[in-house]
Amino acid sequence: MTTLAAPTPTHLKEDPWEMARSQLRRVAELIELDDAMLNVLSECKKAVVVSIPTRMDGGGVEVFEGFRVNHNVARGPSKGGIRYHPGVTLEETKALAMWMTWKCALMGLPFGGAKGAVVCDPKSMSLGELERMTRRYTTEIINQIGPEMDIPAPDVGTSPREMAWIFDTYSMNKGYSVLGVVTGKPLQVGGSLGRVEATARGAAFVMREALRKLDQPVRGRRIAIQGFGNVGRNLAKILAGDGALIAALSDSAGGVLNAAGIDVDSAIAHKAEHGVLSGLPGTEPVTNDELVLVDCDVLAPCALEHSLTAENADRVKAAIVVEGANGPVTPAADMILEDRGVLVLPDVLANAGGVVVSYFEWVQGLQEYFWKESEVNAKLNDIVTGAFAETWRLHEERSVSLREAAYALAVGRVAEATTTRGLYP
């Protein structure tokens, strides 16, 4: 047996768990949360660390490290994706789980927050290796997940394909199909129409509402999008369809720029053919560091955490930042952007479309009754724009940032549920 070498250098520029807790402390003051409640919400309910021995194609065995963290279940079963990334850490997974609690509460979903992760580089693994690793990871956390307990979904590095393996592994162990155990499944096995595009669609709805507040239409706005995974790619498609001008795009290898607008279909075709966006005809190359500083109206960081920090936030040219990723703006960057009058649409609001349609998928699975895509999208619009309106109202009433307003609403709801249920025993 061999153990994996040390993980690759991390994208994390500071401790994400400390960042999540400091955001919570800030809002605790704002809503006058008592210390006992702050202490409860500052910790994760449960964090499981597992080892995942996996047969590799060469015949050897590698042992991957995996996590599943439940932050809070006061409002319902915990919900959150599973991340496959070589730099992912337990601390990061805890922060992501906490953010899921706030996101679900802000959207009014009957869920708490969770997150899972496996330290691996999915891009360098074969299909067979990924499947064996995913099935073994599922088996290792099988007592932690379930439709009434904790419901995983895709995140960075995972997709409907992995969700199908998780669904199958769990179901084979139970002896019958359990549709509600995981969301983001392929349509053939109980997925929901509209789930794949849901995170991007939610971000586009929130962006449209924010622009409306500034009396600007989406049409003609210049957009820069960092990240070309499920969120960045679909956001580019949706916004281009709405008449926006896509000025810059990037993937983990680098970015492309064309101030006159990038044709998104050509970018998708180029990425499919070459594996990277770089070299897209008619564009200039930019690095990921440069992309967040390009001239545009809206910047959408849709990759990983910490794209905007105290180092670069003073040079952001966009008027609006839409957090398609989780945690792309550090608290120090938040303050700089706020001082400069840049409107930051926080992750718990801007990228919540994914978990909202996950909720719809869970409901459809439990009822074994599936909805039309137009119904899914209309209900998504209702929930996301409703949450935007509530957040905006508090942002104006209390003169606080949208992040603080969103957190105040979310944390308040979780605290209320905790108080109403009472402390066991």
Q: Which is nearer to ligand GLU, 81 or 365 (CB)?
A: 81
**Binding residues among 318-337 for ligand GLU as defined by CB under 6 A:** 326
| Residues that are catalytic | 115
**Shortest separation between residue 296's beta carbon and ligand GLU, angstroms:** 24
- Judged by CB under 6 A, does residue 158 bind ligand GLU? no
**Binding residues among 168-187 for ligand GLU as defined by CB under 6 A:** 183-184
Q: Which is nearer to ligand GLU, 79 or 222 (CB)?
A: 79
Interatomic CA distance for residues 395 and 388, integer angstroms? 10
Q: Say whether 334 sits in a helix, a strand or coil.
A: helix
- Judged by CB under 6 A, does residue 305 bind ligand GLU? no
Q: Which is nearer to ligand GLU, 107 or 240 (CB)?
A: 107
* Span of 239-247, 281-289, 354-362, 402-410 interacting with ligand GLU by CB under 6 A: 354-362
- Judged by CB under 6 A, does residue 402 bind ligand GLU? no
What residues contact 358, with CB distance under 8 A and at least 6 apart? 79, 151, 153, 183, 184, 195, 198
Q: Which is nearer to ligand GLU, 207 or 319 (CB)?
A: 207
Interatomic CA distance for residues 304 and 20, integer angstroms? 15
Q: Which is nearer to ligand GLU, 23 or 351 (CB)?
A: 351
**Shortest separation between residue 155's beta carbon and ligand GLU, angstroms:** 4
Q: Say whether 47 sits in a helix, a strand or coil.
A: strand
- Judged by CB under 6 A, does residue 197 bind ligand GLU? no
Interatomic CA distance for residues 238 and 221, integer angstroms? 13
Q: For residues 47 and 95, is the Cβ–Cβ distance under 8 A?
A: no
Q: What is the greatest pairwise CA distance in the chain? A: 65
- Judged by CB under 6 A, does residue 355 bind ligand GLU? yes
**Binding residues among 66-85 for ligand GLU as defined by CB under 6 A:** 79-81
Q: For residues 329 and 350, is the Cβ–Cβ distance under 8 A?
A: no
Q: Which is nearer to ligand GLU, 79 or 85 (CB)?
A: 79
- Judged by CB under 6 A, does residue 93 bind ligand GLU? no
| Count of positions (residues) in the chain | 425
- Judged by CB under 6 A, does residue 301 bind ligand GLU? no
Q: For residues 278 and 286, is the Cβ–Cβ distance under 8 A?
A: no
* Span of 200-208, 297-305, 351-359, 397-405 interacting with ligand GLU by CB under 6 A: 351-359
- State the DSSP string of 182-198: -SS--GGGT--TTHHHH
**Shortest separation between residue 27's beta carbon and ligand GLU, angstroms:** 19
Q: Say whether 141 sits in a helix, a strand or coil.
A: coil
Name which of 15, 19, 18, 31 is nearest 407 in CA terms.
31
Residue 27 has, within 13 A of its CA and on its CB side, a CA count of 28
Name the residues that contact ligand GLU, by CB under 6 A.
79-81, 153, 155, 183-184, 326, 351, 354-355, 358
